[in-house]
Homo-oligomer: A and B are copies of this chain.
Amino acid sequence: MLVVQKYGGTSVGSLERIQNVANKVAKNKDENKDLVVVVSAMSGETNKLIDYAHYFSKNPSPREMDLLLSSGERVTAALLAIALNEMGYKAIALTGRQAGITTDTTHTYARIKEIKTDRIKKEIEDGNIVIVAGFQGINDKGEITTLGRGGSDLSAVALAGALSADACEIYSDVDGVYTTDPRIEPKAKKLDFISYDEMLELSSLGAKVLQNRSVELAKKMGVKIIAKSTFSDNEGTIIADKKEGEDMEELLVSGVALDKNQARVSLRGVTDRPGIAAEIFEKLAQKNINVDMIIQNASKDGKTNLGFTIPQNQLLEAKKVIESFDHDLEGSDYDEWVAKVSVVGVGMKSHSGVAAVAFKALADNNINIEMISTSEIKISMIIDEKFGELAVRLLHEAYGLDK
């Protein structure tokens, strides 16, 4: 049995914690598993190096940043191998290059192109626990690249895929994926299982367990992810493909997410000429404003209403863009204090009336829904920000997630 494990920055945040990880890895090895262990930099290290770079320059060269930042994971990898050796286990630490992780040439946010697994396979055959410095690879010019924030997860998933590992265990300081944020709803329950698609929706909606790129790659490569805690022996949450009919008591909804970093923009009486929406969104994109939900009402009298949400801190910038379209619209209004509450579940696909449950739960408590956007497995609603947490608890109960 081959398992790829990944330990994040908090899990290796001190020498004591690295020893704790070594103990966990050793225990797994004792169970006769072949192990590839991907590690992050010790927590705080990457930010320290970024601060160092920013001492010299606001826009440091991405190539040099990659060389700089790749050092943190190497330190952790070497230390973990040393700790395992001392405990009597054969272990070897590999850099991204030595692990065969090749990427494109985009520095600081490279994409993995290929993993040449010869070296890792040889080391496993030699009986080694293979420790891999996460977050980094090498491009075909021999330059060190990094994969962006959350890059170590990506290294782990890609390695698991390339090695056809039985599972990719992602260790962090939370013990799995919850039906919602337990700090908002103490009755939140840890999920035993969640599908890739649901996980993708949840993480883009603000759940912080896994980054979207890693889940996308896992889905693409068919890698079973298990999200677990480094600091407990709890079972964790499996993230994998949901097979049709596999679960008779399939949940309608898997989770509820809240995103409070939202502002609403409403444009009234927009001239309904072809391309006007495209023009507006293009201008916003040029200013790097991330538009999230977009709603356009049916046209009436050659005029239409257009609504969308953006991150709160980009509202001022967005207002400037909108002003440049003054001649094309009757009026605009803005609401900085909105939140997006979302319900996610693959069960929605095959059940009618799922949305109605949400609308009723909020309406019964006099929470006004300003905007609605739905996909096959998700309903998102924009509401007054102050009702955000309450809405999460109401929806959590309405879908029986606390049961």
Chain A residues packing against B (C-beta within 8 Å): 15, 18-19, 22, 49, 52-53, 55-57, 60-61, 63-65, 67-68, 70-72, 74-75, 77-79, 81-83, 85-86, 92-93, 95, 97-98, 142-144
> Which residues of B lie under 8 Å from residue A77 when comparing CB positions?
67
A64 pairs with B78, CB closer than 8 A: yes
A68: shortest Cβ distance to chain B, in Å? 4
A92: shortest Cβ distance to chain B, in Å? 7
B95 pairs with A82, CB closer than 8 A: no
Given A15-B52, A67-B93, A60 contacting B75 (CB threshold 8 A): no
> Which residues of B lie under 8 Å from residue A143 when comparing CB positions?
98
Copy tally for this chain in the complex stands at: 2
CA distance A19 to B56 in the complex (A): 8
> Which residues of B lie under 8 Å from residue A60 when comparing CB positions?
82, 85-86
Of A67, A71, A72, A143, most B-chain CB atoms within 10 Å: A67
A41: shortest Cβ distance to chain B, in Å? 10
A148: shortest Cβ distance to chain B, in Å? 17
A110: shortest Cβ distance to chain B, in Å? 16
Instruction: Return the contact of A56 from the options B49, B52, B75, B79 (Cβ within 8 A).
Output: B79
Q: Which 9 A-B pairs have the closest CB atoms?
A: A68-B78, A71-B71, A57-B86, A56-B83, A60-B82, A67-B78, A64-B78, A15-B55, A64-B81
> Which residues of B lie under 8 Å from residue A15 when comparing CB positions?
52, 55-56
A–B pairs, 18, beta carbons within 8 Å:
A15-B52, A53-B78, A53-B79, A53-B82, A56-B82, A57-B83, A57-B85, A57-B86, A61-B81, A61-B85, A64-B85, A64-B92, A64-B93, A65-B82, A68-B75, A68-B79, A71-B71, A95-B144
Q: Given contacts A61-B85, A64-B82, list 19 more A-B pairs with CB under 8 A.
A: A19-B56, A52-B75, A52-B79, A53-B79, A53-B82, A56-B83, A57-B85, A57-B86, A60-B86, A64-B85, A64-B93, A65-B82, A68-B79, A68-B82, A71-B71, A71-B72, A71-B74, A97-B142, A98-B142
> Which residues of B lie under 8 Å from residue A79 when comparing CB positions?
52-53, 56, 68
A74 pairs with B67, CB closer than 8 A: yes
B71 pairs with A92, CB closer than 8 A: no
A78 pairs with B65, CB closer than 8 A: yes
> Which residues of B lie under 8 Å from residue A71 when comparing CB positions?
71-72, 74-75
CA distance A65 to B52 in the complex (A): 24
CB nearest neighbor in B for A142: B98
A123: shortest Cβ distance to chain B, in Å? 12
CA distance A107 to B98 in the complex (A): 17
